[in-house]
Amino acid sequence: MIKKVVIKMDKKRMMISMAVTAAMLAMLTACGGDTAALAPDQSNEVTEAVTDDTGKTEVADEPAEALEEDGMGDVIDDEEASDIGSEEDQYKQAYLEEAKTLLDAGDADQFAFVNLDGDDIPEFVASSSEGSWDKDQVFIYGINNGVAVLLASDIAPGMEGHSLGFYEGENIIDISGSAMGERHEYYSIRDGELDSVLTLEYCDDPEKDYETVYFVDGEEVDEAAYAKAEKEFLDSHGKLTMLDVENMSVVSIDCSQGYRDIKVESTLPYSSYDDIAGGQ
């Protein structure tokens, strides 16, 4: 059982009091006096003490309110806590490390922070201004447990029918590309990974004399069912931001005429590595 004895005097006063008491004890001992008379109620002096069953006593001489504990149970003060950095500093540093790797490898030299899923931590896109027909040149990154992870990459829009884009704030990524038709894979970000939402595809089937066949989530459907699924999806979302090699194109999509009529509404610039690093 732990017993508390509350004592009010601070450490300095306690030391003075103890010194005075020791001196008086020495005098009385020399004079043959009764030391029992020197045991007045001193429980109201000094500071808070805690005694456990082992007889050990701990004195709490400093307030604990001004201290914090880190994840390992160590006590850190405000100055040490500031060195750890904010959540913004941590995710930005993680993205900058990936950007530097892409830059050094010659895979990307343009970057931007974007918000795909509408939470407090943005996503990160990268693009190569040089362009390429044989390797990925647009990239989307997210944060998972404090680490930057590649969510999707592809060659630029218009090259072999491929594109990579997102619906900002709606948590939807559009990955498209097909050698013989058109294919759109829609994903949401879940726990730092992509989770399939919908797949739309049509192509000319050589086994059916190149008749156009349609698929929704991998299941073959007729053209009307395909058109309905496509229209319902596009009508439920806003403008698509496509990652081009030169900039990001914000487009509206109208499929009411039986095909995708894509209209560029505005463009958003990328930034250089030095710009996003901000002098770091």
Q: Rounded to an integer, what distance in angstroms lies between the CA atom of residue 7 and that of residue 38?
A: 18
First to last CA, the chain: 55
Output phi, psi for 204, to 5 deg: -90, 120
pLDDT at 259: 84
What was the pLDDT predicted at 85?
60
**Residue 12: what pLDDT?**
44
CA 77, 79, 84 angle in degrees (round to 5)?
Answer: 95
Helix (H) or strand (E) run with residue 25 in it: helix 11-31
pLDDT in tens for each of the 280 residues of the chain?
444 433 344 444 444 445 445 544 444 444 444 444 444 444 444 444 444 555 554 544 544 444 444 444 444 444 444 444 677 889 999 999 999 999 999 999 999 999 999 999 999 999 999 877 778 999 999 999 899 999 999 986 656 678 999 999 999 999 998 877 899 999 999 988 999 999 999 999 988 899 999 999 999 999 999 999 999 999 999 999 999 888 999 999 998 888 889 999 999 999 999 999 985 5
CA gap 100, 76 in Å, rounded:
32
Question: Which pLDDT belongs to residue 159?
Answer: 60
pTM: 0.68
Query: With 0-12 CB in 10 A as exposed, 13-18 as middle and 19+ as buried, what is 97?
Result: exposed
Cross-strand partners of 264:
251
pLDDT at 279: 53
Q: Are 173 and 154 in contact (CB under 8 A)?
A: no
Type and span of the H or E element at 133: none
Q: Which two tokens stand for residue 172?
A: 């939807």
The region, left, alpha or beta by phi > 0 then psi within -120 to 50, assigned to residue 224 is alpha
The single-letter code of the amino acid at 276 is I
pLDDT at 153: 94
Rounded Cα distance between 138 and 249, Å, is: 13
182 to each of 17, 130, 161, 222, how far by Cα in Å?
89, 26, 7, 15
